[in-house]
Structure 1
């Protein structure tokens, strides 16, 4: 196993990003966060990557959140550099929000604190059914501030308040019940279920995925009337793309579409 803190691996049309700090429960520090960010930028620019998988090394932790040990030296995770407008974790979350590729979390182990925010920031997720998750910040006199915007979009309000106040961990079934993950499977079936999901993604039009993700995030922050106005403008935009024309032609000719990504 490489000693790099993040492993970047291309598997056909999928880019795998693996947090590789198993001894630190795949915790986040500035180097890890910036490496993930750079990998996402490169994947979007490649033109051939169709999806991204984010996971952790080993089987104990997906991500335990911020590496508190980094507070002992340079790059303390809770420190603020007032010469920079954004914290590096916020920059990563914004990158995930703007990412034009589907990002799927492969939740291989426990997920806590900032790691839970990372999970919530992904587009889809598959988790092993024996994991636990939570926000441990209250136990160190903090609150999960930077991940709260994502959690507020996904979790029921009462359960979210309990998490933020008590800092207690919950079982995996709650992830499914609250809609945080798409699928919950026995650990032995994690990769086969992931492969099944990826196969349903990588054969779709890259253009439709790109525009669709942009529209999803834009409309989520709009009122109903504003989103309807936005939608009626985007439909002809999508219909004018090469992929949309190819998709219609392939449907009429009863053949597989050949996507150009344009």
Structure 2
């Protein structure tokens, strides 16, 4: 199967930006060009003012993302290092996802391996088909999943993560759901219906509330309790002063649907 002309497809579907890895022949693997395109798409969706959520998925039904492209001589060969530019493109993508003010949902259409699992963990929410497998398979080629560990440590129970990293084995969608890696697991035929259901619960909410809420979530997760309480206290007047907060309160009192503008 030949390489697709456009390795990443980006399109708006209503209020949702869809970012689709389009490298079925390479099991939707990542290289630097692919990652830079994802990065740019997230940035554009965040800035356009109309997008309410981002979906990341892959083409086909075999792989969501197989991780870094390990083909010898490819642009993104995973372990190549340019000491003049020590900042890795995967780190740039993870930082972009961390800073993104829109909810990012992974539509897990196929198996998730290695760096693809890091991408999954970096998304805010995840809906998966029940026949997918997940794994950090780096141990099989003599390395450890160093680049994606920071996000996996945030999502997985420590002992489960250690088992994954040490054994390099694959696990089921049901296990990933039990561990809190996935929000929902459904039969493959119901994947898009479940995703639409989830998106409907997101896109009708205040963009301002979601933006401030995601910022607070990410900030407080890195704080101690005392620091987090001080941060929350300082954010309350900021949040309540927004136009969306005022509109939401007025709509509640007037028993009508709020008209959120994202301001």
Normalised by the length of structure 1, the TM-score is: 0.97
**CA pair 2-237 structure 1, distance change in 2 beyond 3 A:** same
**Is residue 6–residue 36 contact of structure 1 (8 Å, CA) maintained in 2?**
yes
Q: What residue is the counterpart of 1:207 in the other structure?
A: 208
Deviation of 1:83 (Å): 2.5
Shift of 1:77: 2.3
Equivalent residue pairs, number: 261
Work out whether 1:193 is the aligned partner of 2:201: no
Structure 2 unaligned blocks of 5 or more = none
Matches within 5 A, 1:31-110: 31-69=33-71, 71-110=72-111
Normalising to structure 2: TM-score of the pair? 0.97
Deviations, residues 49-73 of structure 1 (Å, cap 9, x unaligned)? 000000000000000000001x424
Q: Structure 1 runs of 4+ off > 3 angstroms?
A: none
Q: Please name the residue that 1:24 is paired with.
A: 26
| SS of corresponding position for 2:223 | coil
Distance in 2 (alpha carbons) for counterparts of 1:155 and 1:163: 10
How much does 1:81 deviate? Answer: 2.0
Unaligned 5+ residue runs, structure 1? none
Q: Shift in Å at residue 2 of structure 1?
A: 6.2
Report the 3-state secondary structure (helix = DSSP H, G, I; strand = E; otherwise coil) of the residue aligned with 1:126. Answer: strand
1:30/1:77 contact within 8 Å kept: no
Residue 112 (str. 1) matches residue 113 (str. 2): yes
Question: Residues 24, 153 of structure 1: CA spacing in aligned structure 2 closer, same or farther, 3 A cutoff?
Answer: same
Report how far residue 82 of structure 1 moved.
2.4
8 Å Cα contact 1:26-1:62 kept in structure 2:
yes
Q: Does 1:145 align with 2:152?
A: no
Aligned-partner SS, 2:229:
helix
In structure 1, C-alpha distance between the alignment counterparts of 2:178 and 2:222, rounded to whole Å:
24
